[in-house]
Amino acid sequence: MTAWGDLQAFQDLPRLAGLALSPDGARLVTTVATPDPARTRFRTALWEVDPAGARPARRLTRGTGESAPAFLPDGDLLFTSARPDPERAEPDDDAPAALWRLPPAGEAHVVGTRAGGIGAPVVARDAGTVVVAAKTLPGAVTDEDDAARRKARAERKVGAILHAAHPVRHWDHDLGPDENRLLAGTVPADGAVAWCDLSPAPARALGAFAVAPDGAAVVAEWAVPERLGGRRTTLVVVDVASGERRVLLDDPTADIVSPTISPDGTRVACVRETPSTATAPIDRRLLVVPLAGGEPTEIAPQWDRWPEELCWVGDALHVTADDGGRRPVFRMTPDVMRLTGDDGCYSDLVAAPDGSALYALRSAVDVPPAPVRLDPVVPDQRPVPLPGPAEPRELPGTLTEVTATAADGSPLRAWLALPEGDGRAPLLLWIHGGPLGSWNAWQWRWNPWLMTARGYAVLLPDPALSTGYGRAFVARGWGAWGAAPYTDLMALTDAATAHPRVDRDAVAAMGGSFGGYMANWVAGHTDRFRAIVTHASLWALDGFGSTTDDPAYWRRELTPEMAARHSPHRHVDAITTPMLVVHGDKDYRVPIGEALALWWDLVAAWDGDPAAIPHRFLYFPDENHWILTPQHAVLWYETVLAFLDHHVRGRDWVVPELLR
């Protein structure tokens, strides 16, 4: 059976992430994740790709959790891994991630450790200075002190954390009691790195960082607490020799993020993100500032797209940005030029040392991530595929686009994945999360091709609040989630059901996160769908904002007036469509209380025979906002497909075997 017909075979497909290029430009390394033999977790390995495209990819490591590759100036490869150190007399299976060094020929060996583990290394291109973030308990002065404190907590089985500020959680994990510190050092020919602590008291302020080519300075995001529970992000420069810190950019009205240092070490590119208000969305603008200090220059101030990844290619800055259901690469100097002319979504940009090429991972709605090479100066080009660790696979269907016009006259578009054959297929409306996002990349968690393989047509719409259509398009739905986003979805659904391959009388809807919110809103405002799947969804907006992991962000938009007007829970009595509720208990972005309240409201509103209730609740006690482990991902798809087949196609309700 193919990967599309076998859910476990789909989970077994290799998943690429990240790129690192050697200083001579001759070696390109990526990380590949596959399930372990028990198929209960993913583990990663490092693979080498030939930048010239002449040699096949080759595996570098065993796949026991290697990640974050980075090259030293001499061509040796650094990476992090928690695998046992073979040189230890008594290997510790519970050891945190260490820093490993892999020469072009020979075995990898540990060159850096820390009691709380080592984060992804960033290497100064010329000097070879290595900078990492390392988790350290706030009271610890040395690594030995940190290790002793951790041991004392472990022996007494203490898990308590004392907080003095917000946030206290992020995504799926608690913050603290340890915090990231910035460490720097040089990897010796023999032995281990002697780390220098550049931020002995960060108080959770440290964010993403970049290292100057000469290793003399680190530019880092540095969070500053504000009154009333707020925080803003600044950029600081840390002198590696002294540890002294100076402010590079601090805008009291915005966050400054994503620092990227030019190859000559004189300039820093970054993104200025203005916060949202109750009625206006964020805005993201591209800045360049001298590393020595001075006034920033805004790049392409009239450009109505939001920069995501930044990459210097010589003196020219390149960025990715969502754009009309794609994520192209743009060359930003001297003018904005779209570098890629295809339907791809590009990420993980790395530049050849001589500026002659740009490498990236390219995916699309119908293509998993794979390495490619680009010419950094040719507009609207097609990428050159490089032989990678994963072979392309034929899809069980075709991809097309549908368009519509919104109630206010705005143009709308969506991807439509159609199954093979000539007959009419039931339609599945999939609503993306975010809400700031776009259907433009390959999805492992929400893959439409698993549905087309089973005969469904899948609509992937970009309604109001979607990115890649300009800030005004986002603003159409800001603070009014149940208005334009909902009517846009219905307009695109109308357009899709007019397609000759779609059965307009057999339609279902599903979404996750904000998409789950929209699924809940749809359920309370129309009965056109035969089934609705709502995953990690927002239900009662009046309580959600203060319980999520970032209430300072959400309170700016989720005002009491907005919550009263656009909260789905106020329309539970109008819900007649069978709903499958899915949630993970370790979801801190949309806490489990949303699902518990939704489930209770659905049950309490059902006035029929309790044994005949059409709704179901799929609960994962040990998953988070996403269902990530292979075995649970298979159960997720099995349950969703069984629910859809039952209510959309009239098939018998079959509970997956492992849930019986």
Q: What is the pLDDT of residues 294-341, one digit of tens each?
A: 999 999 999 999 999 999 999 999 999 999 999 999 999 879 999 999
| Residue percentage of the chain with pLDDT more than 70 | 99
**CB-CB contact of 121 with 66 (8 Å):** no
Among the CATH numbers 3.90.950.10, 1.20.1050.10, 3.30.460.10, 3.40.50.1820, which is that of 397-659? 3.40.50.1820
Query: Quick one: which of 417, 646, 634 has its CA closest to 533?
Result: 646
pLDDT band at 95 (very low <50, low <70, confident <90, very high): confident
pLDDT of residue 1 exceeding 70, the answer is no
| CA–CA gap between residue 554 and residue 535 (Å, rounded) | 19
Helices (H), 334-422: none
Per-residue pLDDT at 86: 78
pLDDT band at 64 (very low <50, low <70, confident <90, very high): confident
Per-residue pLDDT at 469: 98
pLDDT of residue 90 exceeding 70, the answer is no
Name the residue ranges covered by the structural domains of the chain: 397-659
| CA–CA gap between residue 318 and residue 173 (Å, rounded) | 33
**What would the pLDDT profile of 178-237 be if each residue is shown by its tens digit?**
999 999 999 998 889 999 999 988 888 999 999 999 999 999 999 999 998 989 999 999
pLDDT of residue 117 exceeding 80, the answer is yes
pLDDT band at 93 (very low <50, low <70, confident <90, very high): low
Amino acid at 522: V
Per-residue pLDDT at 85: 84
Please, which residues have CB within 8 angstroms of residue 612's CB and are 6 or more apart in sequence? none
pLDDT of residue 589 exceeding 90, the answer is yes
> What's the Cα-to-Cα distance from 558 to each of 229, 541, 555, 591, 643, rounded to whole Å?
16, 7, 5, 16, 32
* Mean pLDDT to the nearest integer, 106-121: 96
pLDDT of residue 109 exceeding 60, the answer is yes
Q: Rg of the chain's alpha carbons, rounded to an integer?
A: 25
pLDDT band at 88 (very low <50, low <70, confident <90, very high): confident
pLDDT band at 629 (very low <50, low <70, confident <90, very high): very high
DSSP string, 582-634: EEETT-SSS-HHHHHHHHHHHHHH--S-GGG---EEEEETT--SS--SHHHHH
Per-residue pLDDT at 308: 97
* Mean pLDDT to the nearest integer, 476-492: 98
Angle at 301 between CA 297 and CA 306, to 5 degrees: 105
Please, which residues have CB within 8 angstroms of residue 25's CB and are 6 or more apart in sequence? 51, 352, 353, 354, 357
Average pLDDT, the chain: 96
pLDDT band at 52 (very low <50, low <70, confident <90, very high): very high
Please, which residues have CB within 8 angstroms of residue 592's CB and are 6 or more apart in sequence? 583, 584, 585
**What would the pLDDT profile of 486-512 be if each residue is shown by its tens digit?**
999 999 999 999 999 999 999 999 999
pLDDT of residue 21 exceeding 60, the answer is yes
pLDDT of residue 391 exceeding 80, the answer is yes
pLDDT band at 89 (very low <50, low <70, confident <90, very high): low
pLDDT of residue 62 exceeding 90, the answer is no
pLDDT band at 282 (very low <50, low <70, confident <90, very high): very high
Per-residue pLDDT at 91: 58
* Mean pLDDT to the nearest integer, 342-364: 98
pLDDT of residue 92 exceeding 70, the answer is no
